[in-house]
Amino acid sequence: MTKITAAISAVGKYVPDFVLSNALLETMVDTNDEWITSRTGIKERRILKGENKGTSYMAIKAAQDLLRKKQIDPKEIELVIVATATPDMQAASTSAFVATKIGATEAFSFDLIAACSSFLFAMSTAAGYIESGKYKKVLLIGADKCSSMIDYTDRATCIIFGDGAGAVLFEPNNEGLGIQDEYLRSDGNGRDFLKVEAGGSLLPATAETIANKQHYVHQDGKTVFKFAVFNMADACERILESNNLTKEDIQWLAPHQANKRIIDATANRLKLDPAKVMMNIHKYGNTTSATLPLLLNDYEDQLKKGDTIVFATFGGGFTWGSMLYKWAY
Ligand code: UT7
């Protein structure tokens, strides 16, 4: 019997209209376009504006874009996973709301939270459901309203993050395409270096936590940078080695978009031609769980059936990993 693999059969995306450019940031904090561009590669990011719009707003739009392109009845979807670090609310599942709003009324759903590695880890989860043979259509959405946890007076973080969402549909594949292998890791010793300290069960919201700005992202940028460079490159090398592949066998690197210097360092370690490296950080900044599906949307036209893609992420926790993938359409 041929092994069932899990493959992406459609993609969709949504980014908000509002563009927060480096020029605009120069009017908000003590920074400049030259510093931001040379240190991060970011030129602009999208910000979700308006009342009553959370992460689900963008997740729904990205899913609807996919459904429109793929022309499928949402009732065929059996599972909806929302990968996010910024769920709409504590306790009420964001994915349940998203599934209902897109008409996936026959599906069950859950959120998967693993900071910037949420989408990669959720790809592995989605694949497990498909490979079991029990499920045929799993919708995976990566969405984050990063602006909801950013202090726009802190120049160290406000220049980095943006909002956005991307969706992919996983279906069984009998040609051996889709997910081939993965290397996924975490290390809780990293939790003090990148965090939103308050608002969870450890430190619930009080007047004091708000006054202390503990509901915003704080990161020790240099330490996170060091770990990100080492671990993203290491995870890529390991997955190539364990599959007896060399850089010539790789058509694309799809790295988490946290900093162009981290992406370049990973590509250099693999000695990869820059033309093989997917990059859109200049347009969107770091959209956390949305970076990988936004890359797939932006590069969809250039991907060919059978192309080998290496996905790689690094994020808070710490969480990181790589995945070996063969494009299926
Ligand atoms: O996606 C999750 C994982 N996250 C990451 O991977 C982020 C990893 N870290 C980074 O990307 C980088 O560390 C940053 C982009 C956050 C910062 O870059 P850096 O090269 O590490 O800069 P730094 O924090 O060491 O700051 C260097 C200087 C400092 O000034 P002094 O102390 O040397 O006088 C900062 O105060 O740059 C200053 N600075 C800025 N200057 C202008 C910090 N932020 C800014 C800014 N504009 N926005």
Q: Ligand 1 pocket check: which of 151, 222, 257, 291 to mutate, most ligand atoms within 8 Å of Cβ?
A: 222
Q: Which of 22, 116, 146, 259 is catalytic?
A: 116
pLDDT number for residue 13:
98
Please count the other Cβ atoms lying within 10 Å of the Cβ belonging to residue 249.
Answer: 12
158 band by pLDDT with thresholds 50, 70 and 90: very high
Q: Give the residue whose CA is nearest to atom 29 of ligand 1.
A: 156
SS3 state of residue 154: coil
- What is the CATH code for 180-326? 3.40.47.10
Predicted confidence (pLDDT) at residue 157 exceeds the cutoff of 70: yes
2 band by pLDDT with thresholds 50, 70 and 90: confident
Q: How far is the CA of 156 from the centre of ligand 1 (A)?
A: 6
Catalytic residue check, 116 = yes
Q: Which of 22, 259, 286, 297 is catalytic?
A: 286
Average pLDDT over residues 1-28: 95
Could you identify the atom of ligand 1 that is nearest to the CA of residue 315? 2
**Taking the model in full, what pTM does it have?**
0.97
Predicted confidence (pLDDT) at residue 290 exceeds the cutoff of 90: yes
Average pLDDT along the chain? 97
Average pLDDT over residues 30-37: 98
pLDDT tens for 57-68 read 999 999 999 999
Name the token pair of 178: 């889709």
Strand pairing class (163-173; 178-186): unpaired
Q: Show the ligand 1 pocket: residues with CB < 6 angstroms.
A: 31, 35-36, 39-40, 116, 155-156, 159, 221-222, 224-225, 228, 258-259, 262, 286, 314-315
Average pLDDT over residues 281-306: 98
Q: What is the domain partition of the chain in residue ranges?
A: 5-176, 180-326
SS3 state of residue 174: coil
Alpha-carbon torsion angle 246, 248, 251, 257, nearest 10: 60
Catalytic residue check, 158 = no
Instruction: Evaluate whether the domain defined by 5-176 bears CATH number 3.60.21.10.
Output: no
pLDDT tens for 88-117 read 999 999 999 999 999 999 999 999 999 999
pLDDT tens for 203-239 read 999 999 999 999 999 999 999 999 999 999 999 999 9
Predicted confidence (pLDDT) at residue 77 exceeds the cutoff of 70: yes
Angle at 160 between CA 92 and CA 10, to 5 degrees: 60
Q: What percent of the chain has pLDDT over 90?
A: 99
Q: Residue 77 burial (CB < 10 Å; 0-12/13-18/19+)?
A: buried
Q: Residue 322: phi, psi to the nearest 5?
A: -140, 160
Average pLDDT over residues 130-158: 98
Could you identify the atom of ligand 1 that is nearest to the CA of residue 155? 48
pLDDT number for residue 263:
97
Average pLDDT over residues 110-132: 98
Predicted confidence (pLDDT) at residue 166 exceeds the cutoff of 70: yes
Fold: same for 5-176 and 180-326: yes
Q: How far is the CA of 221 from the centre of ligand 1 (A)?
A: 6
Q: What percent of the chain has pLDDT over 70?
A: 100
3 band by pLDDT with thresholds 50, 70 and 90: confident
Q: Give the residue whose CA is nearest to atom 48 of ligand 1.
A: 155
pLDDT number for residue 1:
58
SS3 state of residue 185: strand
